[in-house]
């Protein structure tokens, strides 16, 4: 099934307790596309880059079945740039620098060839830009999923609420879920957020796994216990990409299939953090992914016999 992915394609400079990267390719839509394209094709990308964005990165995505007709290239401008530093626990980070550049006035245009797509993944972006994408789709996709972040809750809550009301599934992390709902308990937070529109909610807890909520049902997937988390940048996007990629591949939006999608997303995220940027995502094969998913089965599978 076809999948539209919307989000930034950008440069990052990352410092972790394990090392420091140069200016490397990143961006939500980059990670989502690398992850989702393992499972479904075409991925129809919507983004904006400057003239400084490497052509070979675009070519590599094309070779993966990612269509780039919806990616605007502004030759005389610079790509979005983010620089950050992670602390020892890898769950918290400081932003050192943000340069919006081409993102400052991004007006997404959905190519005709993307119309009729079955799945839409709105990566973290200005809510008004996410809304502009939804508005341009002539047929509503079977599932609209979105990611967002606390920054938009602080600065654009009204717009954010409007987009959240339009989507089927929302990805947030635990602190964002608490901020968005005003509830500390994630169970109560989930109930409040689902009242805002989404029928499905995924709460990401980083190294502590992820929860999927729907009606009064809940499913939990752990993160894989790793020796080292080398660089968490993009892990959430890679998770979302694996999730939506699996859902699009199977064309099944049942709660039961979303459980599997959460495991697939968790497996993909566990690769992402092993090296800087998208490096590891570019290396892995289908066998690697299948093996990793089997590790999740081993990690949580147990026999119970109630006597």
Among 77, 219, 275, 279, indicate the residue that binds its own copies (CB under 8 A). Answer: 219
| Residues in 49-88 at the binding interface with its own copies, rule: CB under 8 A | 88
Which segments within 125-186 are labelled E, that is strand?
143-147, 169-173
Under DSSP, is residue 129 helix (H, G, I), strand (E, B) or coil? helix
Encoded one letter per residue, x for contact with its own copies by CB under 8 A and - for no contact, window 88-127 reads xx--------------------------------------
Half-sphere exposure of 282 (CA within 13 A, CB side): 16
Among 73, 137, 149, 218, indicate the residue that binds its own copies (CB under 8 A). Answer: 218
Looking only at the bridges linking them, the beta strands covering 119-122 and 143-147 are parallel
| Shortest distance, position 186 Cβ to its own copies, whole Å | 6
Among 94, 187, 215, 251, indicate the residue that binds its own copies (CB under 8 A). Answer: 187
| Residues in 241-300 at the binding interface with its own copies, rule: CB under 8 A | 256, 259-260, 262-263, 290, 293-294, 297-300
The CA angle 205-208-212, to the nearest 5 degrees, is: 55
The enclosing H or E element of 200 equals strand 200-204
Nearer to its own copies, 59 or 228 (CB): 228
| Shortest distance, position 238 Cβ to its own copies, whole Å | 19
Tokens representing 81?
Answer: 């740039």
Name the residue among 46, 41, 232 with its Cα closest to residue 121.
46
The enclosing H or E element of 154 equals helix 150-155
Half-sphere exposure of 60 (CA within 13 A, CB side): 15
> Binding segment for its own copies among 97-105, 122-130, 146-154, 185-193 (CB under 8 A)?
185-193
Q: Which residues bind its own copies (CB under 8 A)?
A: 88-89, 184-188, 205, 208-209, 211, 217-222, 225-229, 256, 259-260, 262-263, 290, 293-294, 297-304, 306
């Amino acid at each position: 099934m076809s999948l539209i992915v919307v989000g930034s394609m950008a440069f990052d400079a990352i410092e972790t307790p394990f090392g420091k990267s140069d200016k490397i390719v990143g961006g939500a839509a980059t990670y989502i596309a690398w992850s989702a394209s393992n499972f479904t094709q075409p991925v129809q990308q919507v983004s904006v880059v400057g003239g400084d964005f490497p052509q070979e990165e675009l070519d590599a995505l094309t070779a993966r079945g990612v269509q780039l007709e919806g990616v605007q290239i502004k030759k005389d401008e610079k790509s979005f740039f983010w620089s950050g530093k992670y602390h020892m626990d890898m769950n918290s980070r400081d932003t050192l620098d943000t340069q919006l550049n081409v993102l400052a006035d991004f007006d997404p245009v959905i190519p005709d060839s993307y119309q009729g797509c079955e799945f839409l993944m709105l990566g973290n972006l200005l809510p008004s830009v996410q809304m502009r994408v939804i508005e341009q789709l002539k047929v509503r996709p079977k599932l609209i999923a979105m990611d967002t972040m606390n920054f938009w809750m602080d600065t654009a809550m009204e717009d954010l609420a409007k987009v959240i009301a339009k989507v089927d599934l929302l990805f947030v992390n635990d602190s964002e879920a608490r901020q968005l709902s005003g509830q500390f308990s994630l169970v109560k937070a989930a109930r409040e957020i689902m009242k805002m529109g989404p029928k499905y909610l995924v709460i990401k807890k980083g190294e502590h796994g992820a929860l999927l909520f729907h009606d009064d049902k809940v499913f939990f997937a752990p993160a894989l216990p790793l020796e080292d988390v080398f660089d968490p940048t993009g892990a959430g996007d890679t998770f979302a990409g694996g999730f939506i990629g699996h859902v699009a591949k199977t064309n099944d939006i049942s709660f039961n299939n979303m459980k599997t999608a959460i495991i697939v997303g968790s497996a993909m995220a566990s690769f992402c953090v092993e090296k800087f940027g998208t490096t590891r995502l570019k290396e892995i094969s289908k066998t690697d992914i299948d093996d990793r998913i089997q590790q999740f089965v081993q990690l949580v599978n147990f026999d119970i016999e109630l006597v």
